[in-house]
Chain A
Amino acid sequence: MAAVARFLIRGANSKLSVPGIGAGAQSSYGATLLKLSATCNACTKPQRRHVAHFTFQPDPVPSQYGPTQKMNLFQSVTSALDNTLASDPTAVIFGEDVAFGGVFRCTVGLRDKYGKDRVFNTPLCEQGIVGFGIGVAVTGATAIAEIQFADYIFPAFDQIVNEAAKYRYRSGNLFDCGKLTIRAPWGCVGHGSLYHSQSPEAFFAHCPGIKVVIPRGPVQAKGLLLSCIADMNPCIFFEPKILYRAAVEQVPVEAYTIPLSQADVLQEGSDVTLVAWGTQVHVMREVASMAQEKLGVSCEVIDLQTILPWDIDTVCKSVAKTGRLLISHEAPVTGGFASEISSTVQSRSHKLARSLPVCCQSYAALPLPVQSGV
């Protein structure tokens, strides 16, 4: 898996250095990656099919958390991990290839700064990574596990669903693995095909006991990731990998948290509620301005942020106002999380139930082939 992934990473050797973190580990590994990628023409020449399907819109600069710095999404993840390792001596980061900085550069410099017993590679085995992380968390230490791509989280499904999610409940709260956070790159990336594009959040949404969180940009990524790490429940944090480099905005340097299970109303409107998460939020924002321009329709745009347990109240309140709901996600439609949202909103809005138009906009119920170009 990792080997396949390595061919996918373009210019993995970032020139951008993360503030507050020592010199990036520009290891020979990184150089090799770059060489490998350079031989791949399709990767260096921007082609039509690599044109982004969205435009990232930075958030207003947050002022309440002190000084900010320009960061892209992978740098804001590093910054969150840096803050955690600095403040929590029990915290460890592990996974495949995290030691040299990670195939997406999210852990660059951390091993040099905090030591190889705190940032280390594991053998290439996802069920082992999550099981190991659960064990670390059972002792009360903070475990931050990385699964290289969300597509490869399935070998750890048993450890996540049967073990991590049920640890506290089944032991009567004698034991728990609340200090476990699993991070994984997520969503389509333009050319990732079947196994570097998946959005598996709905598989996990059916599992009580875990939290599933997806940010839309660098500011949310850092704040939500720090909340996941601090949260006393096992969390899965999906990082939209297409935003790792594309999304750049001002991010507070110090640690701050954004609450879980709270949706973010990005734009108020009165005619229709648009709900999405991750990259798709930016698509919905664009749709909202198109609707306003071309149809004179006022859209309320909501970033759900936490898939499980999700913020039912914010969505229902919005729909009670607008009377219409459109949910959009990259994942396949059948059994997608939009089904849960739409049925919940319909059941909670009794008066609206008959007239409430709910539309789920998502990709076809297909594995995502490389030809799709998205």
Chain B
Amino acid sequence: MAALKTMNRMYEVCFNAARQAAGLKTSRLIQHRSFRISQPFDSSLEKPQFPGASAEFVDNLEFIQPNVISGIPIYRVMDRQGNIINPSQDPQLPKETVLNYYQKMTLLNTMDRILYESQRQGRISFYMTNYGEEGTHIGSASALDPNDLVFGQYREAGVLMYRGFPLDLFMAQCYANADDLGKGRQMPVHYGCKDLNFVTISSPLATQIPQAVGAAYAFKRQNMNRAVICYFGEGAASEGDAHAGFNFSATLECPLIFFCRNNGYAISTPTNEQYRGDGIAARGPGYGMLSIRVDGNDVFAVYNATKEARRRAVAENQPFLIEAMTYRIGHHSTSDDSSAYRSVDEVNYWDKQDHPISRLRHYMTARGWWSEDDERSWRKQSRKTVMEAFEKAEKRLKPNPELLFTDVYDEMTPTLNKQKESMWRHVQQYKEHYPVDLYEK
């Protein structure tokens, strides 16, 4: 149980209890935790009595050195050729499950390619691909219960894909057509789905982090065996809201998984301009949070870590932090040319030699679960289904302009109603200046 050991190790760093062996049982961890809080006050002892921390005195001056050279290790289940490294860590998922992983990852990849191109052609206004991070989405999503609530950033379309969000609705959102569940109000890739428990994405970074904590707190009170997962990038982790969320989740004891996609860049900003500590995982123990770092290109490592974090988060009502190390292979978005700040060689390494999709394919091929023929026919089929959804979405009308005014409040206010009527009067009078035919009536 290397995963568990790492988590325990992190826990100990946090509470400065290195003498405890790595194989601590959960119950002992909890005892240890409550001990810290209920330490009796005894002024006769020459021991520190400060309420703010539980620690010994030390009589030599020594600053704590951050360990950034040899950081928190990266948990991995299979190597780059898809070989299981430690059989005890093999989740031994059945063939159908693994095939489903592969198909969802590649379908997402196909959709990304087509929508990226469509943006280049001016057919949709904006797009963000998921290249290189498909494994983090599918691996974590599959370890969750379908009832678990997902709060995302914007590069987690694979989670929705795994939960069965139809291609038509992905496209409808990007085209902002009349089928879009969001009524065409947000920029492309701001997906959301109530039925699939995926909270609608918004652009402001990290705002979802403390929100996810609130939702997890409410779930804890409902006692319905539900957890919350909250995704964010390593750049978003610099926002104040990340600090708020981490701290609240620990002090309020919420069943929550923070899932950080550390892909090396926040647009053009490399991580050494983002932070100077040992990444994001090293911050978890500072908040009293169990933390782990995983290989984000290893779908099984992501699965194992999320599965265990989910189990314990719900059982023990405490937050977990997973930092998935990966690499953003694509541009930040369609409005960005990443060759302006990083080398093509660097990108090629991750695309050709260490990619979550190719690694899983090696694994499947080695077991005789996937052949060249399977690959060819699946590529053809997935491309066809994406293109069909794409063409359908493109032909669809835009939503009725009335929908510009609804849902600001639960009910239309008199002022909004007046503004709506004023819009219609205006459009009637000057309709030749507006694309009225493109909108539903």
A residues with a Cβ closer than 8 A to B are 90, 92, 117, 120, 122-123, 125, 127-128, 130-141, 143, 155, 158-159, 162-163, 166-176, 178, 208-209, 211, 232-233, 261, 309, 312-313
Contact = CB atoms under 8 A, between A and B. Distances in A.
B182 A172 contact: yes
Of the listed residues A128, A130, A312, the one surrounded by the most CB atoms of chain B closer than 10 A to its CB is A128
Given A122-B252, A174-B181, 16 more contacts: A92-B221, A123-B248, A128-B244, A131-B245, A132-B214, A132-B217, A134-B211, A135-B212, A139-B149, A139-B218, A141-B218, A155-B240, A162-B204, A163-B211, A173-B406, A309-B409
Contacts of B251: 122-123
Contacts of A141: 218, 221-222
A173 B182 CA distance: 7
A211 B409 CA distance: 9
A208 B404 CA distance: 13
B144 interface: no
Contacts of A175: 192, 194, 199-200
A232 B407 CA distance: 11
Contacts of A132: 210-211, 213-214, 217, 244, 248, 252
Interface string B199-226: 1101010010111111111110110000
B14 interface: no
Contact of A166 (B181, B202, B214, B248): B202
Contacts of B328: none
Nearest to B249: A132
B414 interface: yes
B413 A261 contact: yes
Contacts of B222: 139, 141
A211 to B, nearest CB: 8
Contacts of B415: 309, 312
Contact of B241 (A127, A167, A168): A127
A135 B244 contact: no
Contacts of B199: 138, 171, 175
Contact of A208 (B216, B406, B408): B408
B214 A170 contact: no
A172 B219 contact: no
Contacts of B410: 168, 176, 178, 232-233
B408 A138 contact: no
Nearest to A155: B240
Of the listed residues A135, A168, A173, A175, the one surrounded by the most CB atoms of chain B closer than 10 A to its CB is A135
B310 interface: no
B197 to A, nearest CB: 10
B182 A171 contact: yes
A132 B211 CA distance: 5
Interface stretch (B63-71, B75-83, B183-191, B354-362): B183-191
B347 interface: no
A172 B183 contact: yes
In this complex, the interface size class of chain B, counting residues with CB under 8 Å from chain A, is 35 or more
Contact of A312 (B185, B252, B414): B414
A131 B409 contact: no
A174 B222 CA distance: 21
Contacts of B156: none
B397 interface: no
A158 B181 CA distance: 25
Contacts of A209: 408-409
Given A168-B407, A170-B190, A233-B410, A131 B182 contact: no
B114 to A, nearest CB: 24
B180 interface: yes
Give the 9 A-B CB pairs with smallest separation, nearest first.
A135-B214, A131-B210, A128-B244, A171-B200, A135-B211, A172-B183, A132-B214, A139-B218, A172-B182
Contacts of B219: 139
Interface string B74-104: 0000000000000000000000000000000
Contacts of B204: 158, 162-163
A142 B199 CA distance: 18
Interface in B153-209: 180-183, 185-186, 190, 192-194, 199-200, 202, 204, 207, 209
A127 B213 CA distance: 12
Of the listed residues B182, B219, B222, B241, the one surrounded by the most CB atoms of chain A closer than 10 A to its CB is B241
Nearest to A139: B218
A136 B218 contact: yes
A122 B413 CA distance: 34
Interface in B36-72: none
Nearest to B410: A232
Contact of A172 (B180, B207, B215, B247): B180
A336 B424 CA distance: 31
Nearest to B230: A135
B417 to A, nearest CB: 11
B243 interface: yes
A174 B247 CA distance: 28
A228 B217 CA distance: 22
A264 to B, nearest CB: 18
Contacts of B215: 135-136, 138-139
Nearest to B418: A312
A169 B213 contact: no
A163 B192 CA distance: 15
Interface in B242-282: 243-245, 247-248, 251-252
B207 A158 contact: yes
Of the listed residues A143, A169, A312, the one surrounded by the most CB atoms of chain B closer than 10 A to its CB is A169
A367 to B, nearest CB: 24
A191 B200 CA distance: 44
A250 to B, nearest CB: 32
Given A135-B215, A141-B218, A169-B407, A127 B210 contact: yes
Nearest to A125: B244
Contact of A174 (B193, B202, B248, B252): B193
